[in-house]
Amino acid sequence: MKAFDRRDFLKLSGMFAGGLLLGTEGGRAMAMDKGSRVTLFKTEDRREGVRASMKALVTNPVKGKNVLVKPNFNTADITPGSTHNDTLVALVEELWIMGAKSISLGERSYPLTREVMEEKGILPFLKKLNVEVIDFDHLKEKDWVLFRPKKSHWTNGFRIARPVLETECLVSTCCLKTHQYGGIFTLSLKLHVGVVPTTRHGFTYMQELHRSPHQRKMIAEINEPFKPDLIVLDGIDAFVDGGPMTGKRARGDVFLASADRVAIDAVGVAILKLLGSNDSIMKPKIFEQEQIAKAVELGLGAASPSEIDLIPGNETSRGYRDRVAEILKKG
């Protein structure tokens, strides 16, 4: 398999350059230099949270597009161990309403992807909603694209599932939780570990990742070859310690939406701080977290709190938004 070279990467990056413009509100363009928009909607209802957080972004990146949804189906554990079925169903329904041309779902789980989906009972819902399931476990060899960025912490680079690279529109949905096995937190950046194979050509990518002291930087590096057009974070339930499968639970009662992985992760970490989390979350400044710092270095999103425009989804959400923003601005 031919590795991605710099020319390939620049070409691929150009495909997503237009995604930096996040829409208009009252005739005012919201570009990256005016703030990466993250909407925050306070709710205990997942259907309402999906709809309202997406609506508050005032943008429609899916209309007329073939959409690929990447959920958090690493395992079938109860939310936030994995994406809640209600969240995924509501998200797909909203994408159809927004005018998606087609919708597929792509995932690589642990253990086998099909087994995880069957245990969650999500397959009948996806069939009813006319969603094609792309099981990354069964991708052909040519559909795992080798990427070797310079100065990578991956020994021999990493492979990305081709559907993620080639989709017209990538929509990711993640949970709000800590990660006890070295990641510190699992939000949108860590979600995309699922677009890398567990093992290929006898090389165990996940073993290298989880044994490396550079795990958090490697997570950010995985995100370099592609860019989601929309990210929706379900924070109704959270793990404030433990994770990613099981852990100490807390109620966040919040949904976030953004097109910026760094910005939404920074806000997510701020919410974990608000809820009261472990020392690995509470002590470091948000933009000193290695996942976020490396993602900033790679130019994947907002570089500081001042570049994040945190928008309350309604007046009821404003107080919660203000508390999160106060934590966020400390960096």
DSSP state letters, 144-161: EEEE--TT-SSBTBEEEE
- The total number of structural domains in the chain stands at 1
For residue range 188-222, list pLDDT tens digits in order: 999 999 999 998 877 799 999 999 999 999 999 99
C-beta separation of 148 from 3 below 8 A: yes
Mean pLDDT of 304-317: 97
Burial of 17 (0-12, 13-18, 19+ CB in 10 A): exposed
Strand-pair partners of 234: 175, 255
Give pLDDT, residue 331: 80
Mean pLDDT of 283-305: 98
Give pLDDT, residue 111: 85
Give pLDDT, residue 95: 98
Give pLDDT, residue 39: 98
pTM listed for this prediction: 0.89
Q: Does the pLDDT at position 25 exceed 50?
A: no
Mean pLDDT of 81-91: 98
Mean pLDDT of 119-133: 98
Give pLDDT, residue 35: 73
The domain containing residue 8 runs over which residues? 3-328
Q: Is it true that the peptide bond before 197 is cis, omega within 30 degrees of 0?
A: no
Mean pLDDT of 321-328: 98
Instruction: Check residue 307 and report its DSSP letter.
Output: G
The enclosing H or E element of 9 equals: helix 6-16
Q: Does the pLDDT at position 8 exceed 50?
A: no
Give pLDDT, residue 200: 83
Beta-carbon neighbour count of residue 283 at 10 Å?
10
Q: Give the integer Cα–Cα distance in Å for 276 and 271.
A: 9
The residue among 297, 120, 266, 272 whose CA lies nearest residue 188 is 266
Across the chain, the runs of DSSP E, i.e. the strands, are: 3-4, 24-25, 28-29, 36-42, 66-70, 102-107, 131-135, 144-147, 158-161, 169-179, 184-186, 199-200, 203-204, 230-242, 247-251, 254-258, 308-312
For residue range 221-263, list pLDDT tens digits in order: 999 999 999 999 999 999 999 999 999 999 999 999 999 999 9
Burial of 318 (0-12, 13-18, 19+ CB in 10 A): middle
Give pLDDT, residue 12: 42
At residue 268, what are phi and psi to the nearest 5 degrees?
-60, -45
Q: Does the pLDDT at position 29 exceed 70?
A: no
Burial of 305 (0-12, 13-18, 19+ CB in 10 A): buried
What average pLDDT is seen over the chain? Answer: 90
Beta-carbon neighbour count of residue 2 at 10 Å?
8
